[in-house]
Structure 1
Amino acid sequence: MTKNAWGEEDQGPEAQQGAQPVTSSESPDKRSESREWRLIEKMVNGLHVEHRRTRRWGIFFKLLTFTYLFALLGIYFYGKTPDLDAVSSDEHVAVVQVNGPIAESEKANADSLVWSLRRAFENEHSRAVLMRINSPGGSPVQAGYVYDEINRLKTKYPEKKVYAVISDIGASGAYYIAAAADDIYADKASLVGSIGVVSASFGFVDLMDKLGVERRMLTAGEHKGLLDPFQPLQNTERQFWQEVLDTTHRQFIEQVQAGRGERLKEDPDLFTGLVWTGEQALDLGLVDGLGSAGYVARDVIGVDKLVDYSAKGSPIEQLIDRLGVSMAGHLANVLGVGGGVQLR
């Protein structure tokens, strides 16, 4: 046995032949198990990272949602206030929009219209008040509230005239409101009039008999089930309800006559519920002239500037309308199957 240059003993060939190659002490099964654990560990770490990423995005979207909701609430509480231009020191014509069906649940409800009209009259810089009307009518009660308030405000502010300008349609309850104005204008093709009352529903008595459905309704009061669509309409109830409609119609006619006075022409069809074009309505005395809101402001009142005083619905209400949630109720109002009396 010899020593090499580093002082280590140099084993002979026999010893070298007996030497075995250096190998890992782990068996193949243990190495396979180790790789599996590393894969599991990597997978768990990946899931953890993904979870944290998802949680961060979740927090972000929650903050974004709350910010959006708070913004909507802010606009909701300030949305009914007119624009800053409305509180203007310049002389202007105050505009109040009457759009869509006139009903408590609609945009054109008495509370909103009365609120807007009061603001329009109160502003000392508004020369006149102009109602821009595009409505098929609706509730006689809501229309009556607005009619009475216009007359009250005209008495309180005698220096300010009220103009009604009908665009596409100003019929029934909408014309009821317009009749309170000092002057009414419309386009030559506008639909004007429809001075009448309607109450419509359906009867399902025969259908229930065919289907074998039994109606069970208990009432206290002989006529408490008046106009129930699932039982026959009695002649006495028909006569009673007709009297209600006739009374409402008479009230409507009286208010139109009080507002229009001698300008109305004698015509047997005037209060029958018929509707006329603006040109025909001019001949009948239902309107005083033909023209748009801009024309009335510029050439009749003599002021170019128009400022909208209409109450603005909240973004939530606008979103609901756009999504069509109120479509069924609106359709019922248009078709006259809402169960109430309507001026149409």
Structure 2
Amino acid sequence: MWPFSRRPFVPVLRFHGPIGMATPLRPGLTLGAYSNAIEKAFLVSKLPAVAVIVNSPGGSPVQSNLLFKRIRQLAVEKKKRVYVFCEDVAASGGYFLAIAGDEIYADPSSIIGSIGVVSRSFGFVDLLEKIGVERRVYTAGINKNQLDPFLPEDADDVARLKAIQRDVHDIFIGLVKERRLGKLKAPDTELFSGAFWSAARAVEFGLVDGITDIRSKMQDIFGEKIRLKVIEPEKPGLLARLRRTPGAIGIQTPALAFADDLVSAVETRTLWSRFGL
């Protein structure tokens, strides 16, 4: 009999929340924040497995890709099989993280998919004139002010943005096809339209491998006595969290940090609400 503290365990990485959206008081899902935890997860257990829990409505495609690549690099290097378990949502960048798994599972009520790219903005063309404010912008470079929400929408600016979105979408599509090779069972026009589905439909389409939970699956593979151990990312101290974001100078005051956090909370709420959560 193994003593409880020495029994074999499966390391668990948990990715919860929007990807790449960070403020001084609310660390986001980024490679910088999770790098140490990811590396530790592939080192701390002798078992040939790492489990990953994903509960994310998406966010930054760059950070999604960086996290995905680091997990896959270590999986190959350390010869570990990665099992991903989707919770409420694994959509857009959340599904990008999920395909880092050699096997992907979901809860019956999970929402899966949204394999697409989106940019959101507002138009305030007449607002300043109505409130009596004169705006002054000076640029070097004819496209430096493109997609300015206080200027009329320009067709050329929109075309440039859509071209960038197509490039990012193609990268996403290519990785899904590579990671789910031989498993996808729906036409590209359906899978990569940006739509999202229930777990049952995601299984039917080949986006996930089955419906189960992390404990049940790990017990099926390693036996009922297997332990799960969550590997937490390191949390920076308060002073470090109050520093300005990259590119700024000096220390951010608590009031400004709170303002950033409030804006982030609104953006986060908007991402989750798209999936009815």
Where on the TM-score scale, by shorter chain, does this alignment land: which range? 0.7 to 0.9
2:122 match: secondary structure = coil
1:198 match: secondary structure = coil
1:148 is displaced (CA, Å) by 0.9
CA distance in 1, matches of 2:56, 2:78: 26
CA distance in 2, matches of 1:261, 1:113: 28
The AA in structure 2 aligned to 1:265 is K
CA distance in 2, matches of 1:252, 1:301: 33
1:227 is displaced (CA, Å) by 1.4
In the alignment, structure 1 residue 227 sits paired with structure 2 residue 162: no
Q: Tell me the equivalent position of 2:209.
A: 288
1:272 match: secondary structure = coil
Q: Deviations over 1:185-228 (max 9, x none)?
A: 00111011111111111110022333343331111000001211
Query: Is the contact between residue 15 and residue 56 of structure 2 (CA under 8 Å) also seen in structure 1?
Result: yes
Q: Tell me the equivalent position of 1:91.
A: 8
Query: Is the contact between residue 164 and residue 184 of structure 1 (CA under 8 Å) also seen in structure 2?
Result: yes
1:313 is displaced (CA, Å) by 2.9
Q: Tell me the equivalent position of 2:95.
A: 175
2:54 match: secondary structure = strand
Distance 1:169 1:123, change over 3 A: same
CA distance in 1, matches of 2:97, 2:34: 10
Q: 2:220 aligns with which of 299, 303, 317?
A: 299
Q: Tell me the equivalent position of 1:5.
A: none
1:132 match: secondary structure = strand
Distance 1:242 1:325, change over 3 A: closer
TM-score normalized by the length of structure 2: 0.81
* More displaced 10-residue stretch of structure 1: 291-300 or 188-197: 291-300
Question: Alignment length, in residue pairs?
Answer: 245
Instruction: Compare the two structures and name the one with the higher helix fraction.
Output: 1
The percentage of counterpart residues that share the same residue type is 35
Query: Is the contact between residue 104 and residue 110 of structure 1 (CA under 8 Å) also seen in structure 2?
Result: no
CA distance in 2, matches of 1:113, 1:131: 12
**Aligned 1:51-130 pairs, distance under 5 A:** 89-103=6-20, 105=22, 106-130=27-51
Q: 1:259 aligns with which of 157, 179, 190?
A: 179
In the alignment, structure 1 residue 331 sits paired with structure 2 residue 252: no
Distance 1:161 1:301, change over 3 A: farther
1:162 is displaced (CA, Å) by 0.2
CA distance in 2, matches of 1:228, 1:325: 21
CA distance in 2, matches of 1:289, 1:327: 38
TM-score normalized by the length of structure 1: 0.66
CA distance in 2, matches of 1:193, 1:148: 19
CA distance in 2, matches of 1:224, 1:269: 36
Q: Greater Rg, structure 1 or structure 2?
A: 1
5+ residue gaps in structure 1?
1-87, 337-344
CA distance in 2, matches of 1:90, 1:191: 34
1:213 match: secondary structure = coil
Q: Deviations over 1:132-154 (max 9, x none)?
A: 11111111110100111122112
Q: Deviations over 1:100-136 (max 9, x none)?
A: 1111523422223332121111124344100111111
Q: Deviations over 1:224-253 (max 9, x none)?
A: 012111111211111011101111111111
CA distance in 2, matches of 1:99, 1:326: 17
Query: Is the contact between residue 87 and residue 107 of structure 2 (CA under 8 Å) also seen in structure 1?
Result: yes
Q: Tell me the equivalent position of 2:74.
A: 153
CA distance in 1, matches of 2:222, 2:152: 56
5+ residue gaps in structure 2?
243-257, 272-277
Query: Is the contact between residue 92 and residue 127 of structure 1 (CA under 8 Å) also seen in structure 2?
Result: no
Query: Is the contact between residue 192 and residue 281 of structure 1 (CA under 8 Å) also seen in structure 2?
Result: yes
CA distance in 2, matches of 1:135, 1:149: 18
CA distance in 2, matches of 1:282, 1:145: 26
* More displaced 10-residue stretch of structure 1: 100-109 or 223-232: 100-109
1:309 is displaced (CA, Å) by 0.8
Query: Is the contact between residue 187 and residue 279 of structure 1 (CA under 8 Å) also seen in structure 2?
Result: no
Q: 1:137 aligns with which of 45, 53, 58?
A: 58
In the alignment, structure 1 residue 308 sits paired with structure 2 residue 225: no
Q: Tell me the equivalent position of 1:70.
A: none
